[in-house]
Amino acid sequence: MDCAKVKEFLYRFIDNEADSTVIAHIERHLKDCPLCEKEINKEKKLDCLIREHFSKDEAPAHLREAIARRLQVKRQRQRYLLGLFILVVLIAIACIWFTLMRFS
Ligand SMILES: [Zn+2]
């Protein structure tokens, strides 16, 4: 894993949301890369400060509901785009297959 990949997974790593393989790769990288280690330590300290000062404050219910709705819409849009992509790929495969069958 390189520094760019570590940055990509930085917050998931700090929040313990990365999978075990990613965690192992990052930990191995951190042993050899003081820059990434320093960056992660800085982010962990900032994370602790934020949790200490803001963890008691809870977002209002309407805000949480609005965020949940937006996340749901985003997930639905992603599923729709994935379905559309799969459909386009299948149509392309069918066109290629029919073309090959016609000329063989
Ligand atoms: Zn690095």
Assigned token pair, 59? 């977002």
Residues near 40 by beta carbon (within 8 Å), at least 6 away in sequence: 6, 10, 13, 14, 30
pLDDT at 51: 82
Query: CB under 8 Å to 23, separation ≥6 — which residues?
Result: 13
Distance of CA 94 to the CA centre of its chain: 32
Ligand 1 centroid to 7 CA: how many Å?
Answer: 8
Which carries the bigger pLDDT value, residue 88 or residue 58?
A: 88
Q: Give me the residue spans of the domains in the chain.
A: 1-57, 60-104
Measured in Å, residue 33 CA sits from the centre of ligand 1 at 5
- Across 69-82, average pLDDT: 94
* Angle at alpha carbon of residue 88, lines to 75 and 82, rounded to 5°: 15
Q: What is the pLDDT of residues 2-61, one digit of tens each?
A: 999 999 999 999 988 999 999 999 999 999 999 999 999 999 999 888 888 776 667 888
Residue 94 has pLDDT above 90, yes or no: yes
